[in-house]
Amino acid sequence: MSARLLAVAALGCAGAAVLIGVPLLVLAGPHGVGLLLAALAGLAAVGVGAWWVLAHRGLLRLLGALLAAAAVVIVPVLFFSSGLWGYALAAAALWAAGLACARQAVRQRSTAPAHAVVRPPPEHPWIVMNPRSGGGKVGEFALVERARALGCEVVVLDADRPQDVAALARQALADGADLLGVAGGDGTQALVAGVASAHDVPFAVVPAGTLNHFAMDLGLDLTDPARALDALSDGLEVRVDLGAVSGRPFVNTVSFGAYADIVQNPAYRDAKAATVLDVLPGLLSGGAGTPFTAETDGAAVEPPQALLVSNNPYAAGGFAELGRRPRLDSGRLGVRSIRITGIADAADLAVRGERAMSLSTATAREVTVSAGPGTLPVAVDGEALQLPTPVICVIRPRALRVRVPLARATARPASFHGLWRRVVALALRGGPERAAGGGGRGRRRPGAR
Structural domain includes residue 427 = no
Task: Write the CATH number for 263.
Answer: 2.60.200.40
CB 67 within 8 A of CB 45: yes
For residue 423, is it within any domain? no
Strands 293-296 and 366-370: antiparallel
Query: Same domain for 217 and 296?
Result: no
Total domains present in the chain: 3
Give the C-alpha separation, 137 to 225, whole Å. 8
Residue 72 sits in the same domain as residue 86: yes
For residue 433, tell me if it sits in a domain.
no
238 and 265 share a domain?
A: no
* pLDDT (0 to 100) of residue 433: 43
Q: How far is Cα 189 from Cα 195, in angstroms, rounded to an integer?
A: 10
Beta carbons within 8 Å of 428's beta carbon, 6+ residues apart = none
Euclidean distance between the first and the last CA atom of the chain, given in angstroms as a whole number: 36
Out of 108, 139, 155, pick the residue that ends a domain: 108
Q: Which of 108, 127, 159 is the last residue of a domain?
A: 108
Is pTM beyond 0.75? Reply is no
229 and 288 share one domain:
no
Looking at this protein, which amino acid is placed at residue 379? Answer: A
Query: Do 152 and 211 belong to one domain?
Result: yes
Beta strand residue intervals within 148-217, DSSP E: 153-156, 179-183, 203-206
Q: What is the pLDDT of residue 406?
A: 84
Q: Indicate whether 168 and 254 sit together in one domain.
A: no
Do 261 and 309 sit in the same domain of this protein? yes
In a domain, 196, yes or no: yes
- Apex 310 CA angle, 267 and 167, nearest 5: 70
In our burial notation (b when 16+ CB lie closer than 10 A, e otherwise), range 113-151 reads: bbbbbebeebeebbbbbbbebbeebbeebebbebbeebe
The neighbouring-strand residues paired with 294 are: 301, 369
Q: What pLDDT, on a 0 to 100 scale, did the predictor assign at position 123? A: 96
Quick one: 273 and 385 in the same domain? yes
- Taking the C-alpha atoms of residue 307 and residue 294, their distance in angstroms, rounded to an integer, is 9
Which of the listed residues 56, 83, 108 is the one where a domain comes to its end?
A: 108
Q: Which residues contact 328 (CB under 8 A, 6 or more apart)?
A: 114, 217, 218, 240, 241, 311, 312, 412, 437
State the pLDDT at residue 141. 95
Judge whether 449 lies within some domain. no
| Partners of 236 in the β-ladder | 118, 404
Single out the residue of 165, 210, 158, 205 nearest to residue 185, CA to CA. Answer: 210
**Mean pLDDT split into 10-residue runs, the chain, 449 residues:** 84 84 60 70 82 79 89 78 71 85 71 70 96 91 96 91 93 97 93 97 94 89 92 92 96 88 66 61 59 91 86 69 77 88 62 68 94 89 91 97 78 58 80 41 35
Specify the amino acid at residue 4: R
Instruction: Encode burial over 163-201: b for 16+ CB neighbours within 10 A, e otherwise.
Output: eebbebbbebbeeebebbbbbbbbbbbbbbbbbbbeeeb
Q: Are residues 287 and 390 in the same domain?
A: yes
Structural domain contains residue 29 = yes
Regarding whether 212 and 255 lie in a shared domain, the answer is no
Residue ranges making up the domain that contains 260? 250-396
Is position 206 within any domain?
yes
* 299 and 334 fall within a common domain: yes
Q: Assess if residue 420 is contained within a domain.
A: no
Check which CATH number belongs to the domain holding 149 and give it: 3.40.50.10330
How large is the C-alpha radius of gyration of the chain? 24
Q: Are residues 154 and 103 in the same domain?
A: no
